[in-house]
A and B are shown apart, each in its own frame.
Chain A
């Protein structure tokens, strides 16, 4: 209660524009007649004006970080999938039932593989984006391939080939450990102009994947295999440069 015994919540509600016309008129009349209430209203209005100026804006860094995360969260355009007929499953029950079942089963396998690829693509792009945003691009920062390669030894159960392609316009930045597809992988970082290329390497053969994938958010992925290792290059560099990167690296690391 204010000193005058009037309800301060009503004055507050008037200042906040929360009263309908009838109540507003009543409170205004009360304020006009009561100096204490008038003083309270003045104080509230002044405080509101001051507090409004205290709001802060989000830093530019946060806007950038959000834009990157949202881009990474977007799914690439759905891969073309042969639609499965589900409306009348009994329709093909007849002589060719066995054949049809086999055909359907293989379709499930194909779509399953595609879905797996998509999940891996998303994971790789997210990893690439994360490496750019949390200042965790490299664990070992050096352009010397003879430092990067031994650094991985002992940290991985395989030995990723490391080459400095500086003379080809892809200087080596360094390397780090990353976690993709349920295992620890080598991430070797190269640069092309202002763009970063993350090359993820791990042993093993997955189901065949397309060589080139265009992910949303402007990221390109190239995939190849050599000497029992899977390679995934991820970057926002232009696709031609990424293809050049692949050929250059393959030529340089050929056993």
Chain B
């Protein structure tokens, strides 16, 4: 049956293991010279996932400009660490690097904020990152976004009110359609945690979404 443990997921025995080691080599300015062959493979395998990379970076940083920088940085870094890529899902590989860069950015730019009750996850090594503000004062509220820009923008603004740990599983599952195992690898979390975070994220967003639709219904 279903166990929220780190054990392999029943019925998913044939998963190929992901290789996610990305060398933490410092990249100053431009990347170090890359052999043409490696660059060609990178362009064929990794570059097509730029949209997915940007989508994750944008939801984690919640700022378009930062998301561009994070994505750019992650891909340039990915290219210079491409010899560490040992096959497997290239999208999962690059998203792992994007996520790390996004968390670096969050750490650098974290604002003093208090954790809302009920969503803090005790003992998380990234507690400092989780000190996010549910509403960035510079951004629209979900309600404003929904009314001004439509359903998709409203939902994005709602996702942005979640803590990063919940946001990332929701983005990876619902937008990138990654499997639990892949999400577990990318977020360096046990599969059980992925499942419970996903359930929590869906419950929070789903409930807020239904409430939001109810309150804005009938409005022009």
Binding site for B on A (CB under 8 A): 7-10, 12-13, 16, 18-23, 43-44, 47-48, 50-59, 61-63, 65-66, 69-70, 72-77, 118-119, 122-123, 126, 129-130, 216
Contact = CB atoms under 8 A, between A and B. Distances in A.
A172 to B, nearest CB: 26
Given A16-B173, A18-B12, A74 B36 contact: yes
Interface string B6-44: 000111100000000000000001111111100100110
Given A12-B195, A51-B170, A53-B152, A130 B202 contact: no
A70 to B, nearest CB: 6
A7 B156 contact: no
B31 A73 contact: yes
B76 A69 contact: yes
A19 B151 contact: no
Interface in B184-206: 195-196, 198-199, 202, 205-206
A54 B175 contact: yes
B129 interface: no
A211 B180 CA distance: 56
B29 A130 contact: yes
B51 interface: yes
6 smallest CB-CB distances across A and B, nearest first, come from A20-B11, A75-B33, A126-B30, A58-B54, A73-B31, A51-B174
B207 to A, nearest CB: 9
A207 to B, nearest CB: 19
A87 to B, nearest CB: 24
B180 A122 contact: no
B11 A23 contact: yes
B34 A75 contact: yes
Contact of A13 (B75, B155, B195): B195
B71 A18 contact: no
Contacts of A55: 51, 55, 175-176
B89 interface: no
B58 interface: yes
B41 to A, nearest CB: 12
Contact of A62 (B68, B199, B202): B68
Nearest to A76: B33
B100 interface: no
Contact of B72 (A50, A66, A77): A66
A48 B32 contact: no
Contacts of A62: 50, 54, 68, 71-72
Interface size class of B (residues with CB under 8 A): 35 or more
Nearest to A56: B55
Contacts of A47: 174, 202, 205-206, 209
B34 A58 contact: no
B36 A216 contact: yes
Contacts of A50: 151, 155, 209
Contact of A9 (B53, B58, B199): B199
Given A65-B68, A75-B35, A9 B170 contact: no
A9 B2 contact: yes
A45 B196 CA distance: 17
Contact of A52 (B47, B159, B174, B202): B174
Contacts of B71: 58, 62, 66
B34 A130 contact: no
Contacts of B61: none
B32 A8 contact: no
22 contacts: A9-B195, A12-B198, A18-B9, A18-B179, A21-B11, A23-B10, A23-B11, A47-B174, A50-B209, A52-B174, A54-B155, A54-B174, A62-B54, A62-B71, A70-B75, A73-B33, A73-B76, A73-B80, A74-B39, A75-B34, A119-B33, A122-B30
